[in-house]
Structure formats: C-alpha cells, structure tokens
Amino acid sequence: MTIRPGRLIGTSGARLPLWVALPSLFLVSGAVLWWMVLPGNPFQSAPIVGTLFSWAVLVGAVSLLRNVPRRRVGAVVIAGTILLGLIAVSAPPRTSNDSARYAWDGIVQKAGISPYANVPLDETLSSLRPGWLFASGTSGADGSPVCAENLFDTESVATFGYPSRDPLCTAINRPQVHTIYPPTAEIYFFGVRATVPDTAGYLPFQLAGLLISVAVALMLLRALADSGRPLHWAAVWGWSPFVQLEAVNNAHVDLLAGALVLAAGMLLAGGRPLRSGMAFGAAVATKLIPVIAAPALLFRRPARFIAAAVVTFTLLYVPYLAAAGVGVLGFLPGYLKEEGYSQSGGIRFGLAQLLCTGPWPPVLSAAALAIVAYGVLRRTHTENAWEQQTVMIGLTLLIVSPNYPWYALMLLPFIILSRRWEYLGVMLALDIIYMVPASAPFSETLNQGVLLLAAAAIAAGSWLRRRGELRQTALRGLQEEPPPLRLPPPHGPSLSLTKSDE
C-alpha cells in the first residue's frame, strides 16, 4: 500500500480521500468504545475484545495522521481526544468502581472530616451518605446481607453497617477498611467534589479525567515538537482505548500521578531540577507507585531534585498527619498483604514464579528490580531520558505484574516519547490479566503466558533496535573517506643514534 498526502491508495488502485478514511476509522473507534462502556452490555468480555480491536484500528488511524499537515495535527489529536472522551463519560465506570471511594473521600472532606478517620460503614457519617453510593439492604435466609439487582450503576457490595449491623449496600469496594490514598490524591478528591453537590454521581471524576488526559496530550505534543519528532504520535495517547477506558471512563487517579511524573521529566529535561522534584514529590504523594520512576530522574543535579521531592512529599502529608496521625497509612499494609506482595505464594511476581516457588519469587523479583534500577541510574542522560524511563517503569510492571492495568497510565507517555513500542505489550498483558475471565488453574497459566509474550516482545524489540544501530554504524563507517596515505620522505627517515641506541 502506498500513501500520499491526502490520499489512501489501495492495492486495487482505488483512491480514498484522507478526509474520508481518517474520520471513518475514528467513527469505528468511537463506536467500539461506546460498545465497551455500554451499561448492561450482556457480552461480559466486551472491554477486552473492544480494547484489542480498538488498538488495531488505532494503528491505522495514526498511520493516516502522518498525511495531515503538521500545523493541523495537534488540533486533530486534541479534537479526537475530546470526542472519544465524551463517549467514555456517557456511561458509568465499566470495569472498576474505584472512583466511588474517591467521591466518598471528597464528600467526607467537604464536611471537615479527615478521610483517614472513619471507614465508609461507620454510621456516625450516615448523614453524609448520598443515595447513589449507599442504600439499605435486606437479610437473606442465612442472615447475610442482600442487595437488589442493578441497585447502583456499578457493582454493589452487600455488607453490614457499623455498629448497628443493619444490612447495607454500597458502591464502594472494601467499605470495611480505611482509605488507602495519599494526600495529593485526597486533595484532588476534595477539589473535584467541592465543585459539585453530593448527589452528583461518577461524572465529575470522569470529566476531570478527560481534562487531565487532554492536558497530557498537550504535554506530549509540546515534547514531540521540541524534539522535532512526529506530532501524530500523541494520538497513541489520546485516541487509545486504554486511556479512554481507564483514565476517563473509570477515572483512575493514577492518571494524575502519571501526568505529574511526565511533568517532572519534562521540567528536568528543561533544566529545572527543583520544580521537577516538586512535581515528582507530588506524584509519589498521589499513589506511591510513581517512586519507581526515580532512577531515570537523577541524571541532572540529583541532590536538588531529591531535596525538592522529599520536602514536597512531607509538606503534603503534614496537614493529614496532624489530623489522623499514623492513620494516614490507611489500608496500605492490609492492601499489600491482600494483593500478595508481602507474603510467599502470592499471585504476583508471575515471571519469577516460573523459576522458583515458596518465598523466593519476591526475593528474585527484588533482585531483578535492583539490577534494572542500577542500570537505568548509570545509563540515563539528557538524550536518552525518555527511553530509560520507559525501561524502568515498563520492566518494573512486568516483573511485579500487578493485577491492575491502570498502573500503566504513567508508562504510555514515555513509550510514545521514546518510540519503544514493544513496551505496549506490557500494557496489553495487564489488560488481559485483569479483564479476561479465568479460573484456577487456567488463570495462572494465562497470566504467566501473556507476561512471557510481553517479555519476548521487549527482548525482540531491543534486539532489532540494537541490530539496526550496528548496521547504521557500519554503513557510516563505509561511507567515510579513508585518511590520506602518508609517504615517507624521499631519502628515508633520519636516524639519530645515542648511547642507548648503540
């Protein structure tokens, strides 16, 4: 297939104008996204099937964007990001109800109460409960709480109120534990909910996610323009099903953390280590996991960067620490144990479990992460910072193998800036692990299989890139003119004998 500006020429010779081909692919992508988030969709695997199909459509759309004049590409990318985002916010969260907890933490803070002080089941806060988050339940024949079908727009949790033990239904997952989110996230939750009534549902956080995703797209366009790279790569962010589902529809706060990590990288590349450190400290105080990006951010004035990050992180914690004390840790210790990160035989560290069992997979994984971090720390400089950040975050997610794909929201921007497209396999692997329904023992086989495929993709991409670099080096060597031949003087070299020569 040959592509010319403004035309798509097929093998049959038929020509399809760009203004027809590109909108057509975009409409297909929008229709699939709508199908993915459609409430009550009877096809349970719609999110993963739609995701895989939409990535294939995105490849075609991005290739067509190459033919759009450079001065217009940015506007087209942003317009597409907004249009797809409006489709994503047209339905309640499809695969995660985490934003229900975000809303509750924001509502509690509006009432002047620390989000770390009470669990959602605590009836001392019953006057704050909106109907879209809480409802009375009923008792089943065995005395267990029961919730009516389709009580909330997302999954409902049947539990008991505290201390009355009355049946209660809520859209908040883990309602029996304190919040896990650090201060930057809590400030964000308060800021979003402070602008709307408590009766407003999921839409405020979805719209906030759309705004942040547009901001990230603008940041990517700026970084690509500054480096002279193709601007249409930014569509891999804004038009991807991954971003529209996890950042906008599910409205995960990891988007904010990823945006701050990207800002930290751009500020550091621009020679502003103090501001970069502040952005990074705020990112870590959003979800903690952005700390894995640190090794690739220490290549310029590390002392200033670290100091700014630590001070920012500490200052953000101070007000919440004063109100709740050690309660600011929330459910973090319990979360690590529940998710299998602090015990042997857990479901994490999938690749390491192929090599060893018992308590050793976490140990082997920690050693691998230490080697990766050391290598990134030694190799990173101004010219390869985006590439090393991709390696650091991508390999960490691959080795740790979390169950939640939205952790990769901070990986995708660096994949785009570094052109390390093979790391998209990590994101797809996490999507499959989370979305594909499978039961033991098939789930373990599936998880490890997709992780192996992602690792193979990274290895193949690195090998092909290295081979291409060696080939270019060899070609440059052949094209260089050989140095001029130096002939000896006509009468031969003069000799000067000394005592030692004799």
Q: Give the model confidence (pLDDT) of 227-273 as tens digits.
A: 999 999 999 999 999 999 999 999 999 999 999 999 999 999 999 99
Query: What is the pLDDT at residue 330?
Result: 64
Q: Which structure tokens are listed for 428? A: 């797809």
> Which residue's structure tokens are 């402070």?
194
Share of the chain above pLDDT 70, in %: 88
Q: In what order do the strands lie in the sheet with 15-17?
A: 2-4, 7-9, 15-17
DSSP line for 40-103: T-S-TTHHHHHHHHHHHHHHHHHHHHTTS-HHHHHHHHHHHHHHHHHHHTTS--SS--HHHHHH
Share of the chain above pLDDT 90, in %: 75
Report the mean per-residue pLDDT for the chain.
89
Q: Which residues pair with 169 in a beta bridge?
A: 135, 158
User: Containing H/E element for 430?
Assistant: helix 424-435
Do the Cβ atoms of 277 and 304 come closer than 8 Å?
yes
Average pLDDT over residues 345-351: 71
Predicted TM-score of the model (pTM): 0.90
List of E strands, 106-256: 134-136, 138-139, 145-146, 157-160, 167-170
Q: Which structure tokens are listed for 192? A: 């979003």
Average pLDDT over residues 97-118: 96
Flag whether pLDDT at 132 surpasses 60: yes
> Which residue's structure tokens are 């499959």?
432
Average pLDDT over residues 433-445: 78
The 10s digit of each residue's pLDDT in 64-96 is 999 999 999 999 999 999 999 999 999 999 999
Residues in the chain: 502
* Range 306-309, long-range pairs (CB < 8 A, 24+ positions): 306/277, 307/277, 308/273, 308/274, 308/275, 308/276, 308/277, 308/278, 308/280, 308/281, 309/277, 309/278, 309/280, 309/281, 309/284
Average pLDDT over residues 123-129: 95
Q: Which structure tokens are listed for 19? A: 């203004």
State the pLDDT confidence band at 495, using cuts at 50, 70 and 90: very low
Q: Which amino acid is at 359?
A: P
Average pLDDT over residues 186-212: 97
3-state DSSP of 278-332: HHHHHHHHHHCHHHHHHHHHCCCCHHHHHHHHHHHHHHHHHHHHHHHHHHHHCCH
The Cα 202–Cα 31 span in angstroms is: 22
Flag whether pLDDT at 500 surpasses 50: no
DSSP line for 454-470: HHHHHHHHHHHHHHHHH
Mark out the alpha helices in 299-423 (DSSP H runs).
302-324, 332-338, 360-379, 385-400, 412-418
Do the Cβ atoms of 264 and 223 come closer than 8 Å?
no
The Cα 389–Cα 392 span in angstroms is: 5
- The CA–CA distances, whole Å, from 389 to 174, 296, 394, 410 equal 33, 5, 8, 10
Query: What is the pLDDT at residue 334?
Result: 61
- The CA–CA distances, whole Å, from 139 to 133, 151, 153, 157 equal 19, 15, 22, 14
Query: What is the pLDDT at residue 321?
Result: 87
Average pLDDT over residues 346-373: 89
| DSSP strand pairing (167-170 vs 134-136) | antiparallel
The Cα 258–Cα 216 span in angstroms is: 9
